[in-house]
């Protein structure tokens, strides 16, 4: 039985490090590393949850191609239940090219691919009914889900007794509030990064962002803020800000997804929200110390040692 159903974006990343510039014409630039990983706001949390010892079923679409086979077999190797990955006969597996700069930042070149065809009909509701957490990852890059279908999905998941968690993958767009607004009352924990949350609400003021999300019905806003830590605010209660861990950043790819996995693991263990968020921060920090979404995290014991012993940045 899966304790978590992770539904949404499944992506294969090709990462190159360190990226400095695009060579002119057909000239060659030498990188130190190129790596292929399973990524995406549903797939990457699934992998990390499995590393933490959580029974997780991943639900999404991949193409009938070698990239999709890589995604499926890699997830299975980590212990993720991939029974409910649908193979799309027409569209390629969603993929990204990520040239990683030495400071850990990167532009992204992306093909939506099979994620575009994901629909509510792909969800195994009998599996969801037995789960504790339903995670939806990839709002704004799932055209078959965004809008009314997402609201129906989250409403049904809550009616089945699931805790609902949601993460974004977005750029600024004028219809953002229209697309996600109907879903917000059915989200227990909304976990975008602060930049994405600002794009959604239309302000960089964190207090205003939190107030807007709560006014729309979100149960708890969990805003990841990179080196500034994480903001947690339960609707009707004061905000809590936790400082980040002190680390040497290699690559920020997948840090938010890693936070998601650690936080959900904490919810499953009935931790208080601060401790659950600290586990999330530990997971995100560990991923940032290596290249790609699958870096850093080894297992539960390693994450807990890091959480309790690693120095924190000043608040």
pLDDT tens digits, 185-201: 999 999 999 999 999 99
Q: Is the pLDDT score of 253 beyond 90? A: no
* Residue 164 confidence (pLDDT): 98
Q: Is 101 a member of any domain?
A: no
Taking the C-alpha atoms of residue 180 and residue 212, their distance in angstroms, rounded to an integer, is 13
Tokens of residue 55, six digits: 């029974």
Q: Is the pLDDT score of 315 beyond 80? A: no
Q: Is the pLDDT score of 65 beyond 80? A: yes
pLDDT band at 18 (very low <50, low <70, confident <90, very high): very high
* Percent of the chain's residues with pLDDT above 70: 100
Q: Is 110 a member of any domain?
A: no
* Residue 144 confidence (pLDDT): 95
The whole-number average pLDDT for the span 18-45 is 94
* Residue 295 confidence (pLDDT): 85
* Residue 82 confidence (pLDDT): 98
Q: Are 258 and 293 in contact (CB under 8 A)?
A: yes
Taking the C-alpha atoms of residue 49 and residue 173, their distance in angstroms, rounded to an integer, is 31
Q: Is the pLDDT score of 108 beyond 90? A: no
Give this prediction's pTM. 0.95
* Residue 3 confidence (pLDDT): 97
Number of domains present in the structure of the chain: 1
Residue 157's CB is within 10 A of a number of other CB atoms, namely: 25
Q: Are 138 and 8 in contact (CB under 8 A)?
A: yes
CATH number at residue 192: 3.40.1190.20
Q: Is 282 a member of any domain?
A: yes
**Phi, psi (5° rounding) for residue 46?**
-60, -45
Q: Is 125 a member of any domain?
A: yes
The whole-number average pLDDT for the span 29-55 is 95
Tokens of residue 100, six digits: 């990683």
Q: Is 29 a member of any domain?
A: no
Q: Is the pLDDT score of 140 beyond 80? A: yes
* Residue 170 confidence (pLDDT): 87
pLDDT band at 106 (very low <50, low <70, confident <90, very high): confident
Taking the C-alpha atoms of residue 24 and residue 294, their distance in angstroms, rounded to an integer, is 32
Cis preceding linkage at 48, omega within 30: no
Q: Is 255 a member of any domain?
A: yes
Alpha helix stretches (DSSP H) within the chain: 43-51, 66-78, 125-130, 148-159, 176-180, 194-201, 206-215, 255-268, 273-288, 300-309
254 vs 300, higher pLDDT: 300
Q: Is the pLDDT score of 180 beyond 90? A: yes
Provide the domain limits for residue 126: 4-8+41-64+75-93+116-309
pLDDT band at 252 (very low <50, low <70, confident <90, very high): confident
Q: Is 141 a member of any domain?
A: yes
Taking the C-alpha atoms of residue 213 and residue 220, their distance in angstroms, rounded to an integer, is 9
DSSP 3-state percent helix, strand, coil across the chain (nearest 5) = 40, 25, 40
Express each pLDDT in 199-223 by its tens digit.
999 999 999 999 999 999 999 999 9
Q: Is 47 a member of any domain?
A: yes
Tell me the pLDDT of the chain averaged across its residues: 95
* Residue 294 confidence (pLDDT): 85
């Amino acid at each position: 039985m899966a304790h978590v159903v992770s539904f949404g974006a499944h992506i294969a990343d090709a990462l190159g490090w360190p990226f400095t510039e695009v060579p002119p014409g057909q000239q060659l630039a030498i990188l130190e590393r190129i790596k292929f990983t399973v990524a995406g706001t549903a797939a990457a949390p699934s992998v990390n949850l499995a590393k933490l010892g959580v029974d997780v079923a991943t639900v999404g679409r991949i193409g009938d191609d070698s990239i999709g086979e890589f995604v499926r077999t890699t997830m299975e190797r980590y212990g993720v239940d991939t029974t409910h990955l649908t193979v799309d006969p027409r569209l390629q597996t969603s993929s990204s090219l990520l040239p990683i700069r030495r400071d850990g930042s990167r532009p992204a070149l992306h093909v939506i691919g099979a994620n575009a065809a994901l629909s509510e009909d792909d969800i195994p509701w009998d599996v969801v009914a037995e789960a504790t957490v339903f995670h939806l990852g990839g709002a704004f890059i799932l055209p078959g889900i965004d809008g009314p279908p997402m609201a129906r999905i989250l409403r049904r998941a809550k009616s089945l007794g699931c805790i609902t968690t949601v993460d974004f993958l977005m750029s600024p767009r004028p219809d953002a509030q229209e697309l996600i607004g109907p879903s917000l009352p059915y989200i227990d924990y909304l976990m975008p990064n602060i930049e994405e949350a600002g794009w959604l609400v239309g302000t960089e003021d964190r207090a205003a962002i939190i107030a807007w999300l709560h006014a729309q019905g979100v149960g708890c806003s969990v805003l990841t803020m990179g080196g500034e830590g994480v903001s947690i605010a339960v609707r009707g209660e004061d905000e809590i800000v936790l400082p980040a861990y002190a680390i040497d950043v290699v690559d920020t790819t997948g840090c938010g997804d890693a936070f998601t996995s650690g936080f959900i693991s904490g919810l499953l263990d009935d931790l208080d929200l601060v401790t659950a968020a600290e586990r999330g921060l530990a997971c995100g920090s560990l991923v940032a110390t290596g290249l790609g979404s699958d870096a850093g995290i080894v297992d539960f014991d390693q994450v807990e040692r890091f959480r309790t012993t690693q120095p924190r940045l000043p608040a």
